[in-house]
Amino acid sequence: MRYYDIHAHLADGRLTTRLAEVLAESRRHGVAGVLAAAARASEWDTIAALSRHEGVFGALGVHPFFPEQWDAGCAGRLRAAVRACPGIRAVGEIGLDFYDGRGSEARQREVFEEQLRLARELGLAVILHNRKAWPEFFETVRRLRLTPLRGVCHHFSATIEVARQALDCGLHLSFCGPVTYPHSRRLREAARYVPSDRLLTETDAPDLPPWGHRGELSLPWHVAEVLGTLAELRGTPEEELAAQVEANFREVTAAPEAGADSTWQIANSR
Ligand SMILES: [Zn+2]
**Spans of all domains in the chain:** 3-269
Spacing, Cα 215 to ligand 1 middle (Å): 18
Spacing, Cα 268 to ligand 1 middle (Å): 30
pLDDT 10s digits, 41-70: 999 999 999 999 999 999 999 999 999 999
What pTM was estimated for this model as a whole?
0.95
pLDDT 10s digits, 168-200: 999 999 999 999 999 999 999 999 999 999 999
Query: How crowded is the C-beta side of 20, counted as CA atoms within 13 Å?
Result: 0
Spacing, Cα 28 to ligand 1 middle (Å): 24
**Position with higher pLDDT, 165 vs 104:** 165
Spacing, Cα 39 to ligand 1 middle (Å): 7
Burial of 73 (0-12, 13-18, 19+ CB in 10 A): exposed
Spacing, Cα 262 to ligand 1 middle (Å): 30
Spacing, Cα 207 to ligand 1 middle (Å): 8
Query: How crowded is the C-beta side of 159, counted as CA atoms within 13 Å?
Result: 7
133-142 average pLDDT score: 97
Spacing, Cα 270 to ligand 1 middle (Å): 35
pLDDT 10s digits, 26-38: 999 999 999 999 9
Mean pLDDT of the chain: 95
Spacing, Cα 69 to ligand 1 middle (Å): 16
pLDDT score for 100: 81
What amino acid is encoded at 266 in this protein? I
Spacing, Cα 63 to ligand 1 middle (Å): 8
Q: Assign a CATH topology to domain 3-269.
A: TIM Barrel (3.20.20)
Spacing, Cα 241 to ligand 1 middle (Å): 23
Spacing, Cα 206 to ligand 1 middle (Å): 9
Spacing, Cα 209 to ligand 1 middle (Å): 12
